[in-house]
């Protein structure tokens, strides 16, 4: 069984990005600048944003963190987005999700300039991706594609099952893996909460991508011998034996599944670091597009 170590690979890619940024600095060029908007005090969001800012520092990017209270109005947040759209020094920015319930995430997303959409969520970038045109790809699916490519996982002609149909991971994942390129050329099945006999679909998969948000839902009896398992989930599970009172678990029961898998991502340390490094890659691309 091969461990698909996203943490280690992301460090390698960060070193590659740092080399590029050092060359840009020596040539007196534009240093990439990523901004992040954090609304409220959600603990998980604070951790994600802190990791993104730290990654920027590691590769030599400039970073800005814009904090706003959870009580911010829709109009006020739209003004923040518009200010970042108009700031020529900011190459790309993200609005960290989820937002407080009174805010319209779709409206905020639609307000982000496609040229600065380094999370790859706006309709323009999703549409260009669907057509196979140059685009800022969604960070998590693109991170998975890079992981598959760098570890030499063959996707052409393979049966891929994606669990979860979110616009952030599941749906774009199916598009990227079915495109006529490498990695890609796979036969992809998208499963979700209404799928009948989910386990039967999973057992057909040469590559199984779990992004359904249910802790350890995928068990060994659902996995074909020799399958490649990509676990996108990151869930807090109560655990009184741990000092912090919980443990992190993926959507896959790692301990039971690893014996059958030919390759598998851990949680944490698998897809998560690749999502962040994909965001870095998009930011460098946005900086060079000017």
Catalytic residue list contains 180 = no
* Contact by Cβ (8 Å): 136, 286: yes
- What average pLDDT score do residues 39-67 get? 90
Structure confidence by residue, pLDDT tens digits, 88-124: 999 999 999 889 999 999 999 999 999 999 999 999 9
Domain-ending residue, one of 95, 113, 131: 113
* 193 marked as binding residue: no
Tell me whether residue 119 is one of the annotated catalytic residues: yes
> Which of 22-31, 183-192, 236-245 is least confident?
236-245
Alpha-carbon distance 224 to 156, whole Å? 18
5-30: pLDDT as tens digits:
999 999 999 999 999 999 999 999 99
Same structural domain, 94 and 152: no
List the single range of 4-13, 47-56, 67-76, 183-192 with lowest mean pLDDT: 47-56
- Are 35 and 87 contained in the same domain? yes
In a domain, 193, yes or no: yes
CA–CA separation, 160 and 33 (whole Å)? 36
Query: CA-to-CA distance for 170 and 163, rounded, in angstroms?
Result: 7
Per the model's pLDDT, the better-predicted residue between 290 and 1 turns out to be 1
β-strands 159-163, 207-210: how paired?
A: parallel
Q: 148 and 263, same structural domain?
A: yes
11 is catalytic: no
165 labelled as ligand-binding? yes
CATH of the domain at 67: 3.40.50.10860
Quickly state the pLDDT bin for 257 (edges 50, 70, 90).
Answer: very high
Q: Is the pLDDT of residue 46 over 90?
A: no
Boundary of a domain, candidates 113, 131, 154: 113
| Residue 164 known to bind ligand | yes
Other CB atoms within a 10 A radius of the CB of residue 120 amount to 23
Q: What is the pLDDT of residue 43?
A: 79
Q: Please check whether residues 234 and 170 belong to one and the same domain.
A: yes
Quick one: pLDDT at residue 185? 98
96, 116, 117, 253: the catalytic one is: 96
pLDDT band at 244 (very low <50, low <70, confident <90, very high): confident
82 within 8 A of 111, measured Cβ to Cβ: yes
Q: What is the CATH number of the domain that holds 233?
A: 3.40.50.720
Is 88 a domain residue?
yes
Residue with tokens 């386990």: 199
Number of domains in the chain: 2
Query: Do 146 and 107 share a structural domain?
Result: no
> Is the distance from CB of 1 to CB of 264 less than 8 angstroms?
yes
In whole angstroms, give the CA distance from residue 229 to residue 208. 5
Judge if 40 and 101 occupy the same domain: yes
State pLDDT tens for residues 135-152: 999 999 999 999 999 999
Evaluate whether residue 128 is within a structural domain. Answer: no
- Overall average pLDDT of the 59-77 stretch: 96
In terms of domains, do 100 and 150 share one? Answer: no
In a domain, 283, yes or no: no
Q: Are residues 152 and 94 in the same domain?
A: no
**DSSP 8-class letter at 73:** -
**Domain interval for residue 101:** 28-113
Kindly name the residue from 14, 91, 116, 119 that is annotated as catalytic. 119
Enumerate the β-bridge partners of residue 67: 38
> Which of 258, 226, 225, 229 has its CA nearest to residue 163?
229
**Looking at the domain assignment, is residue 281 inside a domain?**
no
Domain membership of residue 217 (yes or no) is yes
Are 160 and 227 within one domain? yes
Top-confidence residue, 240 or 272: 272
Q: Is residue 43 assigned to a domain? A: yes
CA 158 – CA 186 distance, rounded (Å): 5
For position 164, what pLDDT does the model report? Answer: 96
- Residue 145, both tokens: 């594609």
Query: Do 172 and 230 belong to one domain?
Result: yes
Q: Which two tokens stand for residue 65?
A: 């963190």
Would the pLDDT of 290 be above 80? Answer: no
The reply to whether 220 falls in a domain is: yes
Do 84 and 205 belong to one domain? no
Q: Does the annotation list 67 as a binding residue?
A: no
Q: Where would I find the H helices in the chain?
A: 6-26, 43-59, 74-86, 105-111, 123-130, 139-150, 170-178, 198-203, 254-257, 271-288
d(Cα 74, Cα 52) in Å, to the nearest integer? Answer: 25
> Do 98 and 197 fall into the same domain?
no
Token representation of residue 186: 């796979």
Domain boundary pick from 56, 79, 113: 113
């Amino acid at each position: 069984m091969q461990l698909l170590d996203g943490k280690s690979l992301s460090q390698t890619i960060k070193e590659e990005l740092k080399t590029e940024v050092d060359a840009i600095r020596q040539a007196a060029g534009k240093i990439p600048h990523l901004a992040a908007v954090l609304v409220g005090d959600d603990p998980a969001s604070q951790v994600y944003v802190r990791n993104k800012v730290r990654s920027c520092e590691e590769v030599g990017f400039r970073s800005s963190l814009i904090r706003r209270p959870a009580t911010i109005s829709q109009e006020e947040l739209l003004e923040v987005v518009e200010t970042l759209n108009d700031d020529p020094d900011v190459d790309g920015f993200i609005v960290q999700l989820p937002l407080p319930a009174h805010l319209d995430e779709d409206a905020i997303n639609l307000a982000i300039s496609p040229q600065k959409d380094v999370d790859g969520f706006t309709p323009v970038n999703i549409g260009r991706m669907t057509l196979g045109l140059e685009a800022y790809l969604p960070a998590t699916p693109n991170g998975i594609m890079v992981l598959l490519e760098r570890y030499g996982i063959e996707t052409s002609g393979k049966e891929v099952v994606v669990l979860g149909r979110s616009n952030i991971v599941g749906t774009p994942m199916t598009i990227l893996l079915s495109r006529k390129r490498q990695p890609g050329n796979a036969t992809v099945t998208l499963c979700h909460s209404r799928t009948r006999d989910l386990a039967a679909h999973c057992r057909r998969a040469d590559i199984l991508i779990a992004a359904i948000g249910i802790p350890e839902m995928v068990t060994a009896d659902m996995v074909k011998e020799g399958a490649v398992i990509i676990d996108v989930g990151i869930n807090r599970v109560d655990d009184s034996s741990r000092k912090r009172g919980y443990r992190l678990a993926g959507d896959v029961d790692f301990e039971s599944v690893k014996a059958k898998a030919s390759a598998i991502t851990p949680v944490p340390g698998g897809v998560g670091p690749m999502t962040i490094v994909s965001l870095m890659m998009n930011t460098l691309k946005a900086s060079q597009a000017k």
